[in-house]
Amino acid sequence: MNVNPITRLDYPDLDVIRVEDTYYMVSTTMHFMPGCEILQSFDLVHWEHVTYVYETLDHTDAQQLKNGQNIYGQGMWAASLRYHEGRFCICFVANDTRKTYLYTSEKIDGPWKKQLIEGFYHDGSLLFDEDGRNYIVYGNDEIWITELNEDLTAPKKDGLHRLLVSDHKNPELGYEGSHIQKINGYYYIFLIHSRRDRWMRTEACFYSDSLEGEFTGGDVLCDDRGYCGQGVAQGGIVDTPDGKWYAMLFQDFGAVGRIPILLPVTWKDHFPFFGQNGHVPEEIEVHSTRPGYIYQPLVGSDDFCNGLLPRWQFNHDPDPRYYHLDALQGTYTITTREVCTELTQAVNTLTQRMSYPSCAAEVTVDASALKEGDVAGLCALQSCYAAVGITKHHGKYEVLMLDKKEDGILDMTEGTIVESHQMDFRLEADFCNMKDEARCYYRVNKGDWLPIGTVHKLYFKLDHFTGCRFGLFCYAAEETGGSACFRDFKYYDVDEIS
């Protein structure tokens, strides 16, 4: 099967385990809430949502988009997922709070118990050894191991604490993205770094028969699959019930985000070999533990008649006082909470991941309750956002496009004044070969789609550190209390775009 990229959606920094016949994946969700999404699969290729580990994290002002603060590009990063003695454990750091969190549950869908681990462990990976001792491996450039106490709340007094490997003075990216696994009596550490002569994500592996001993190894994969020089790396390996091994890593795909890549792993003299001759093969043999299973889609259309589906996440902590779902009417309504100078500071923006290689979305907006200066519509959410929407100006409704440039300059293209307060908006995105372009459209009374503004260039930037998303937004530029009502959200992937 030609399976890659897996999901075609932004699921970076992933960790995958198997419990009996089910594979579970966790990945970075950054600032989006609810957070720490877990997916499940029975064949490592098709995935569906299982749960979010938390609804909100610490409810700080920044997480709530209050007082002009935000946590874009921060929040939870690179979780470690483990199953130990009948309990699921998830460990991650949040770069805004500078804390290390541990969530535990007897069931994958919760409830999850929250606690903190004393210290801050960048890209941490948990190890529960057979002798009952617990460890975390972490770091950037220098990769360390620290023994944790029995209840996983702090480093163990006089426990093991040592440097394992280092990638000093790498001008691009030193070792990080730790994944430690014990397999057949050996300890394996899987890491990401870059080639030193140019930016190229590369996967490395080091191993030892003892945590006190020397870890040896090196690069195990340096391959871009022929795609724009973007290397495949960062992740761990997982076995199947019949003894085969696979690596689940990710690859940069430009503005759409970082997408999982699956490849086979074979063994020789206790060392793993990734892919075929050091490359990701085009075709990969996989088998399902539940043949014929039908997966629920990770993204898609919504008539808002069934509550808030798990495919949606808020851009930050939601404020339930300022949004309303009406299942009978099939609407999602946002009421403005505070005046914003930026779309990205608008509370209760509802988002879905965009899909590679291209996708489109449409939504109907009722703007009858907007106040003067309010803007509501459909956006491609990132720091360099594109948005098409409707505003109220001098008591009249007007269509507009917002075009946030890479240099931070916000251009506004104003369309025609319209008589109707109900409009349809459409946003198309093309990510093929990192083209990364968005186009905006609107229509009145179900007429023809009319383009507005210019082609918008999208970017993957470290200030948000996530793939671009569709977003439903409403914000106030002058006074609060106005609202917009959204209905009939339609999602189209590449096969459905006319």
The strand pairing partners of 450, in sequence order, are 442
Indicate if 313-492 has the same CATH topology as 14-274: no
How much is the average pLDDT of 284-309? 97
Q: Which pLDDT tens digit goes with each residue over 22-31? A: 999 999 999 9
How much is the average pLDDT of 392-417? 89
The residue ranges of every structural domain in the chain are 14-274, 313-492
Helix (H, G, I), strand (E, B) or coil at 179: strand
- Among 432, 423, 372, 419, smallest CA distance to 401 is for 423
Are 219 and 234 spatial neighbours (Cβ–Cβ below 8 Å)? no
Read off the pLDDT band of 408 (50, 70, 90): confident
The strand pairing partners of 304, in sequence order, are none
How much is the average pLDDT of 361-390? 97
CA contacts within 13 A on the Cβ side of 360: 15
Average pLDDT, the chain: 96
How much is the average pLDDT of 468-474? 98
pLDDT at 35: 98
Are 221 and 202 spatial neighbours (Cβ–Cβ below 8 Å)? yes
Mean pLDDT lowest for which of 405-409, 485-489, 493-497?
Answer: 493-497
The C-alpha torsion from 117 through 28 and 462 to 466, rounded to 10°, is -150
Question: Does residue 49 carry a pLDDT above 60?
Answer: yes
Helices and strands, counts by H and E, the chain = 0, 34
- In order of 12, 51, 68, 102, 359, the CA distances from 54 in angstroms are 18, 9, 24, 11, 29
Q: Which pLDDT tens digit goes with each residue over 75-92? A: 999 999 999 999 999 999
Place of tokens 């970082």: 258
Q: Which pLDDT tens digit goes with each residue over 320-357? A: 999 999 999 999 999 999 999 899 999 999 999 999 99
Superfamily of domain 14-274: Glycosyl hydrolase domain; family 43 (2.115.10.20)
pLDDT at 127: 98
Please say whether the structural domain 313-492 has been given the CATH code 2.60.120.200: yes
Question: Does residue 180 carry a pLDDT above 80?
Answer: yes
DSSP sequence for 58-70: S--TTTTT-TT--
pLDDT at 497: 58
- Among 68, 120, 136, smallest CA distance to 341 is for 68
Looking at the chain, the whole-number percentage of residues with pLDDT higher than 90 is 94
Encode 6-38: b = buried (16+ Cβ within 10 Å), e = exposed. Answer: bbbbbbbbbbbbbeeeebbbbbbbbbbbbbbbb
How much is the average pLDDT of 362-371? 97
Question: Does residue 496 carry a pLDDT above 80?
Answer: no
Question: Does residue 257 carry a pLDDT above 90?
Answer: yes
How much is the average pLDDT of 110-122? 98
Task: Provide the residue type at 15 as one letter.
Answer: D
DSSP sequence for 265-321: EEEETTEEEETBTTB--SS-----SSTTPPPPPSS--B-S-SSS-TT-EESSS--GG
Dist. CA 336–CA 259, nearest whole Å:
34
The strand pairing partners of 102, in sequence order, are 91, 115
pLDDT at 407: 86
Strand ranges in 30-75 using DSSP code E only, listed in sequence order: 35-41, 48-54
Are 121 and 100 spatial neighbours (Cβ–Cβ below 8 Å)? yes
Question: Does residue 444 carry a pLDDT above 70?
Answer: yes
Are 21 and 39 spatial neighbours (Cβ–Cβ below 8 Å)? no
Read off the pLDDT band of 498 (50, 70, 90): low
Q: How many of the other CB atoms lie within 10 Å of CB of 269? A: 4
- Contacts for 130-139 with beta carbons within 8 Å, 24 or more apart? 130/182, 133/159, 135/160, 135/180, 135/211, 136/80, 136/91, 137/164, 137/178, 137/180, 137/189, 138/178, 139/175, 139/176, 139/178
Helix (H, G, I), strand (E, B) or coil at 345: helix
Q: How many of the other CB atoms lie within 10 Å of CB of 402? A: 23
- Whether the bond into 272 is cis, omega within 30 of 0: no
Are 13 and 27 spatial neighbours (Cβ–Cβ below 8 Å)? yes
How much is the average pLDDT of 55-72? 97
The strand pairing partners of 393, in sequence order, are 396
Residues 358, 360, 366: CA angle, nearest 5 degrees: 165
**3-state SS of the chain: helix, strand, coil percent to 5?**
0, 50, 50
The torsion region of residue 244 among left (phi > 0), alpha (psi -120 to 50) and beta comes to: beta
Looking at the chain, the whole-number percentage of residues with pLDDT higher than 70 is 99
pLDDT at 415: 75
Question: Does residue 495 carry a pLDDT above 80?
Answer: no
CA 398 to chain centre: 34
Dist. CA 498–CA 495, nearest whole Å:
8
